[in-house]
Chains A and B, each alone.
Chain A
Amino acid sequence: MLYRAVLALRLATFVLSTVVVYSALAFYAENVAQVSQALGEGAASLRLSNKGLIPVSVTLRLELWHGDYSLIVERAYEVVPGASVPAFFDVEHVLEELPEDVLAKLAFERSEITLRITAKIDFSGLLSVTLRGSRKIPVGPLVEHCSVSVVSRRALNLTHAAVRVRAECYAPGIPVREATLKVFTGTGPAERIPLLFDESGHAAAEREIIVALESKALEAELCVHSVCRPIAPTALKPGS
């Protein structure tokens, strides 16, 4: 009787262990290539697939360090057998959660962010695997290009002219969604042109401003939050 009970226990634990090990190996084999790629590149969208027999829960914890500032992002995913879920492992998206002052610095400067990654994969409490590592990621300048051009010009009187200016900026895939272009007319306070970046990272706006006829060039600067950088002066001629 006892012998049979031992045999049954042996069989049950063997089957359960086999299921767990098989599920872990299946999960590893299915996801190792894209996880390695993601860890190597520091940015990628993952799709976690579970071809095993038991549910898998995955917790991704990302710590971003820039100088003294740190940001912790933690996301949990539950992948049932036979399913696959998109996982968020994109540094550019994580950057969106950085505070404005850090973003503003990164908008114009090349810098490095230290990324500490912890991934915990739990197989229904029967087996858990924790991966820890860190790497440095070059970030910025987030604003790649910005220019101001004169679309048209008409004289208003002997001293002033109305100039239609077009501002275009390009900041691909960055979390900067709003910026302000300050145009110095030389006659009064700077004209502020709000710029809204779309999903592709383009922002464009047109505005008519009054300038002194004696002005030869427009001086402008792009401001992201409180940090501003000058843009190359633009000649006050249409098409320039």
Chain B
Amino acid sequence: MLKGFLIGAAKGALDFVLLWAVPSFLLEYAGVPYSLDPMLRVLAAAIASLDFLEHSLGENSLLACAASMLRNAGVVSYAYLIMSGGVIRLAYMDFTVVMDVRALLFMAILPNIVGILSDIRRFVDALRTSRR
């Protein structure tokens, strides 16, 4: 229980760092004129909390599967939002900059969609086990 709690806390913290602190730092460091949507911080915090919850509750519990599903859905929303649906437009000096990041968006979303399917299966298995 304690081990799961600690792993969950570490993963949650890592999630928040990777999803909010690192992108904010990199954009500021590189001087990229692109501001992150404040909603992304909320999503990053939600994903971190759900990751913590999933690991604290134990991998095969119903609540852990639900938390994992929600977490994956959160990551999909986060990826879609941070990449503006795959095409980012911004103004730089007198220039219009269009970034086509659809391939990256696909790479970010794919494992989470597969993860959601995997969670559904785990959820069904856990449900069957609990009924028995």
Residues of A within 8 A of B (CB): 2-3, 5-6, 9-10, 13, 16-17, 20-21, 25, 28-29, 32, 36, 39-40, 117, 125-135
Evaluate whether A129 and B114 lie within 8 angstroms (CB atoms) in the complex, with A3-B122, A28-B30, A32-B31 already known.
no
B94 interface neighbour in A2, A25, A135, Cβ under 8 Å: A135
Expressed in whole angstroms, the minimum distance between the Cβ of B18 and any Cβ of chain A is 9
Expressed in whole angstroms, the minimum distance between the Cβ of B61 and any Cβ of chain A is 15
Q: Which residues of A contact B98 (CB under 8 A)?
A: 129-130, 132
B104 interface neighbour in A5, A20, A29, A134, Cβ under 8 Å: A20
Determine the distance from Cα of A125 to Cα of B106 in the docked complex, in whole angstroms. 13
Apart from the given pairs A21-B26, A129-B99, 18 other A-B contacts in the complex at a CB distance below 8 Å: A2-B118, A3-B122, A5-B114, A9-B111, A13-B111, A21-B104, A36-B93, A39-B93, A40-B93, A126-B104, A127-B99, A128-B99, A129-B98, A129-B100, A130-B98, A131-B92, A133-B94, A133-B96
Task: Give 15 pairs: A residue, B residue, CB < 8 Å, sorted on A.
Answer: A5-B114, A6-B114, A9-B111, A9-B114, A10-B115, A13-B108, A17-B104, A17-B107, A28-B32, A39-B93, A117-B95, A126-B103, A127-B100, A130-B98, A130-B99
Q: Which residues of A contact B94 (CB under 8 A)?
A: 39, 133-135
Residues of B within 8 A of A (CB): 26, 30-32, 92-101, 103-104, 107-108, 110-112, 114-115, 118, 121-122
B96 interface neighbour in A2, A5, A127, A131, Cβ under 8 Å: A131
Q: Which residues of B contact A40 (CB under 8 A)?
A: 93
Write the chain A residue with the least CB distance to B108. A17
Q: Which residues of B contact A129 (CB under 8 A)?
A: 97-100
Evaluate whether A130 and B111 lie within 8 angstroms (CB atoms) in the complex, with A6-B118, A25-B30, A39-B93 already known.
no
Evaluate whether A132 and B107 lie within 8 angstroms (CB atoms) in the complex, with A3-B122, A25-B26 already known.
no
Q: Which residues of B contact A20 (CB under 8 A)?
A: 103-104
Q: Which residues of A contact B122 (CB under 8 A)?
A: 3
Write the chain A residue with the least CB distance to B91. A133
Determine the distance from Cα of A13 to Cα of B110 in the docked complex, in whole angstroms. 8
Determine the distance from Cα of A132 to Cα of B95 in the docked complex, in whole angstroms. 5
Q: Which residues of B contact A135 (CB under 8 A)?
A: 94
Q: Which residues of A contact B92 (CB under 8 A)?
A: 131
Q: Which residues of B contact A28 (CB under 8 A)?
A: 30, 32
Contact A132 B96 (CB under 8 A): yes
Contact B95 A131 (CB under 8 A): yes
Q: Which residues of A contact B96 (CB under 8 A)?
A: 131-133
Q: Which residues of B contact A126 (CB under 8 A)?
A: 103-104, 107
Expressed in whole angstroms, the minimum distance between the Cβ of B87 and any Cβ of chain A is 10
Expressed in whole angstroms, the minimum distance between the Cβ of A31 and any Cβ of chain B is 12
Contact A127 B101 (CB under 8 A): yes
Q: Which residues of A contact B97 (CB under 8 A)?
A: 129-131
Determine the distance from Cα of A226 to Cα of B101 in the docked complex, in whole angstroms. 51
Expressed in whole angstroms, the minimum distance between the Cβ of B2 and any Cβ of chain A is 23
Write the chain A residue with the least CB distance to B18. A14
Q: Which residues of A contact B101 (CB under 8 A)?
A: 127
Q: Which residues of B contact A36 (CB under 8 A)?
A: 93
What 10 pairs across the A-B complex have the smallest Cβ distances? Answer: A133-B95, A10-B111, A13-B107, A128-B100, A9-B111, A130-B98, A126-B103, A2-B118, A131-B95, A132-B96
Contact B115 A6 (CB under 8 A): yes
Determine the distance from Cα of A5 to Cα of B121 in the docked complex, in whole angstroms. 14
Expressed in whole angstroms, the minimum distance between the Cβ of A9 and any Cβ of chain B is 4
Determine the distance from Cα of A125 to Cα of B115 in the docked complex, in whole angstroms. 25
